[in-house]
Amino acid sequence: MADIIQIGAVSIYQDIELSLTEHMVPPVVHVKQFDHKSRKVRCTLYANAVEYTIPANIILAYSGTRPDGRLFQYSTEALHNDKVALVDNRLVITITDFMTEVSGRYPVDLVMLDADGDILGSFSFTLYVERAANKNRKILTATYASVAEAVRNGVFECFTTEDGYFGINSDDGLGLGTGSYSDVVDRINTELVETSINDDGYLVFETDERLGLIFGMDDEGNLVVDYREET
The answer as to whether 107 is a domain residue is yes
Number of domains the chain is built from: 2
Residues 157 and 93 grouped into a single domain = no
Instruction: Determine the Cα–Cα distance for residues 59 and 69; give it in Å rounded to an integer.
Output: 26
User: How many CB atoms neighbour CB 74 within 10 A?
Assistant: 20
Backbone angles phi, psi at 186, to 5 degrees: -65, -35
Q: Torsion angle of alpha carbons 150, 152, 157, 162, nearest 10°?
A: 100
Question: Which one-letter DSSP state was computed for residue 149?
Answer: H
Question: Per-residue pLDDT for the chain (231 aa), expressed as one digit of tens each?
Answer: 444 444 455 678 899 999 887 777 899 999 988 887 778 999 999 988 899 999 888 999 999 999 999 999 999 999 899 999 999 999 999 999 899 989 999 999 999 998 888 888 888 999 999 988 766 666 666 677 777 787 788 777 777 778 777 777 778 777 776 777 777 778 777 777 777 777 877 777 777 777 777 777 777 777 777 876 654
Whole-prediction pTM: 0.63
Domain termination residue (choose one: 71, 104, 130): 130
Domain termination residue (choose one: 130, 152, 169): 130
The answer as to whether 21 is a domain residue is yes
Please count the CA atoms within 13 angstroms of the CA of 111 that sit on its side-chain side: 15
Residues 45 and 75 grouped into a single domain = yes
